[in-house]
Amino acid sequence: AQERIFNFSAGPAVLPVPVLERIRDEMLCLPGAGASIMEISHRSKQFIAIHEQAKARLARLLNVGADHEILFLQGGARLQFSMIPMNLLQGREQPAQYILTGSWGKSALPEAQKVGPVEVLFDGKETNYDRLPDISKLAIKPDASYVHITSNETIQGVQFPADLDTGTAPLVCDSSSDFLYRPYNMDRYGLLYACAQKNAGPAGVTVVILKKELLERSSAELPGYLNYANQAAADSMWNTPPTFAVYVLGLVTEWLEDTVGGLEKMHALNQSKAKVLYDILDQNPELYMGHARKQDRSLMNVTFRFPSEEIEKQFLAGASAAGLENLKGHRSVGGIRASIYNAMPSEGVQALASFMTEFAQKHG
Ligand code: PMP
């Protein structure tokens, strides 16, 4: 069989090998079901148990209490760009306030503008989205319908390192590319959402965790699928849920709890993995030109450019020959993006670091 690469893809992205092995082992016959996960009813006791376990593990990992509801939805993070304003902004006079620190926040904005009043509190465009704003200087309205941030901008590699405090305005956070990378203070979040295909599983399921009090805003006029209150009342089974994706999400949360040992440990691992790469950037600033401002660097997506496209080509070819793949950055930023999500093993980061150090010796 072909050997596995070190996969630095931004998403869909690397999954923990023990999770893949478990999927393989249970593919033909899920324990107790006599059939695969894809062949049984979402109303079966086996699937209900998987669904409940996934929710329970997420709740334990993130310390989600009785104030919040956990939903498993489809349509990706992009459908949430629309569902959030449809449920939380439609028909209201108080604006939603958006903080734009990169491409994904910028994509969320026009979907909200279609629905209700929106204000932009910060737009990092001037510096090509290389930094975070000073939150204390932003005009957050205490009665804003909500404040929207993207905790990790996948393309630019800019990340909020801690939970923001938006006071009485509900904080809505797109955590698609850093979900579960550290512990969270869920009290701070009105709504936290993440597509699964970076840090939590395969494409097909999107986790939405929202304060129950916000469910009162969902108008009965909304289409059924798009109505959070309806989804909560049906425990995310108003229609057939993405059963395979929920199953894998459950296995990833199990890996986080039982193998990694929780989100404190995951955070420490993520910090040490990212430090290895950023140290090399800092030691070779003329060759590896980091995109994000130092204090705003992402632990998940490490972005940098070279002085010339020729050097970039050589870097990518050499990396590929060393089994380091999917490192090409997004076209809007250029250069390299090394995505080092939870499931990227330290060995993968070490292998990239060794390659980068050697490459710097040749080209420095
Ligand atoms: N937000 C962020 C931060 C993302 O990284 C992505 C996916 N690259 C999205 C939203 C869009 O997710 P989806 O493709 O699942 O709609």
Look up the ipTM and state it.
0.99
27 Cβ contact partners less than 8 Å away, ≥ 6 residues apart:
36
Binding residues: 43, 77-78, 104, 154, 174, 197, 239-240
CA proximity to 72, closest of 101, 49, 51, 91: 51
Binding residues for pyridoxal 5'-phosphate: 77-78, 104, 154, 174, 197, 239-240
> How many whole angstroms separate alpha carbon 115 and alpha carbon 93?
11
> DSSP state, 329?
P
With a 6 Å cutoff on the Cβ, whether 236 touches ligand 1 is: no
Residue with the nearest Cα to atom 10 of ligand 1?
77
Q: Locate tokens 């076209």: which residue? A: 331
Residue with the nearest Cα to atom 3 of ligand 1?
176
With a 6 Å cutoff on the Cβ, whether 104 touches ligand 1 is: yes
Which whole-number Å values give the CA distances from 284 to 233, 349, 361, in the listed order? 54, 17, 10
* Predicted local confidence at residue 20, as pLDDT: 98
> How many whole angstroms separate alpha carbon 187 and alpha carbon 168?
11
Binned average pLDDT, 10 residues per bin, the chain of 364 residues:
91 98 98 97 98 98 97 98 98 98 98 98 97 95 98 98 97 98 98 98 98 98 98 98 98 98 98 98 97 98 97 98 97 95 98 98 88
Measured from the Cα of 195, ligand 1's closest atom is 15
CA proximity to 78, closest of 108, 103, 105: 108
* CATH number for region 262-363: 3.90.1150.10
Domain boundaries, the chain: 18-260, 262-363
Residue 352's H or E segment, with its range, is helix 346-363
CA proximity to 10, closest of 156, 110, 115: 156
> How many whole angstroms separate alpha carbon 344 and alpha carbon 15?
8
**Long-range contacts, 57-60 (Cβ 8 Å, 24+):** 57/250, 57/253, 57/254, 57/256, 57/257, 58/207, 58/209, 58/253, 60/257
Measured from the Cα of 206, ligand 1's closest atom is 15
Please give the distance, rounded to the nearest whole angstrom, from the Cα atom of residue 89 to the centre of ligand 1: 21
Binding residues for L-glutamate: 43
Q: Domain 18-260 belongs to what architecture?
A: 3-Layer(aba) Sandwich (3.40)
- Let me know if 132 is exposed, middle or buried by CB neighbors in 10 A (0-12, 13-18, 19+): buried
Residue 104's H or E segment, with its range, is helix 103-113
If phi > 0 it is left, if psi is from -120 to 50 it is alpha, else beta; for residue 226 that is: alpha
Residue with the nearest Cα to atom 9 of ligand 1?
77
List active site positions.
104, 174, 198
Measured from the Cα of 154, ligand 1's closest atom is 5
Which whole-number Å values give the CA distances from 133 to 98, 113, 125, 302, in the listed order? 12, 22, 12, 19
With a 6 Å cutoff on the Cβ, whether 177 touches ligand 1 is: yes
Residue with the nearest Cα to atom 11 of ligand 1?
77
Measured from the Cα of 76, ligand 1's closest atom is 15
If phi > 0 it is left, if psi is from -120 to 50 it is alpha, else beta; for residue 97 that is: beta
CA proximity to 152, closest of 13, 355, 349: 13
CA proximity to 136, closest of 123, 118, 122: 122
